[in-house]
Amino acid sequence: MDEPRFNYSPAVLLVPLVSLLLQGKPYFQTDFGIRHEIYGVEANVEFVGNVFGSRVFYLGGYQNIGTSGFQYQLRLIPKLDYSVTERGGVHTTRKEGDVWFRLGGTGSLDFRLGLQTFNALDAGVSYQFLETVSGSGGYSYLFKAHTTLWLIENVGVTLEYSKGDTPVADKPIDLITFGTRIQILAEPPASADDSRRYRETNRTWPIIFRLWLTLALMVRASKIIFRQATCLISRMHG
């Protein structure tokens, strides 16, 4: 299974420039035991719009496939990544002091089926690659195939297959995951009904976040208490 990790991105900069979307994202990665520490920044650029003025070939957003209710989305995102390994650990193949500068990109193709009230099903594949141009790393890739069945507008069940290398920790993976997906509306829609659903969703989201944070702190505290108790018992028997 993929390594437990915590990614912190304090700021994301989005700059629309004609038909290009530029994004910069600093990050910090570790595991729940804080055994490895990797700092870095990623920058990417995405073209959004019709390619060469074509009305058929569109990048960066969902497009209708006739009147069937199916939509597709094709994305091509070149990127560069700079990262420093402050400390190694069991959940990364990178060594302390590694400084990597990598170039690569991500390509993805997604489909979704929409009902009258919400999109009931989406599925897709993606492929990401990164080539190290400075540092001790080499070529890494990550292939993903996923599908989500939406039970209601904001909650669904997901099935995902991943094979390759994790982008930051560079850890080989080959796994299938099953989980629950929760999303919130990014901005209030125009209609009264959609606005009501938006308010209800955003009212419950802070509760979910507090529950998750409380659980994470309890797990962390339990690990510390267990570690200290183990050390105390070892000293008593020693």
pLDDT along the chain (238 residues), means of 10: 46 52 90 87 90 76 83 94 91 90 96 76 96 90 94 86 94 91 61 50 56 71 74 71
| Helix residue ranges per DSSP H, the chain | 192-237
Would you state the pLDDT for residue 27?
A: 92
Q: Which residues contact 44 (CB under 8 A, 6 or more apart)?
A: 22, 23, 77, 78, 79, 80, 105, 106
Would you state the pLDDT for residue 148?
A: 93
| Domain ranges (residues) in the chain | 6-183
In the numeric block, the tokens 């690569």 are attached to: 104
Q: Which tens digit of pLDDT belongs to each residue from 110-159?
A: 999 876 666 789 999 999 999 999 888 889 999 999 999 988 777 888 99
Would you state the pLDDT for residue 31?
A: 84
CA distance 125 to 111: 9
Q: Angle 176-179-182 (CA atoms, 0-180°, nearest 5)?
A: 140
Would you state the pLDDT for residue 187?
A: 52
CATH of domain 6-183: 2.40.160
What is the C-alpha end-to-end distance of the chain, expressed in Å? 37
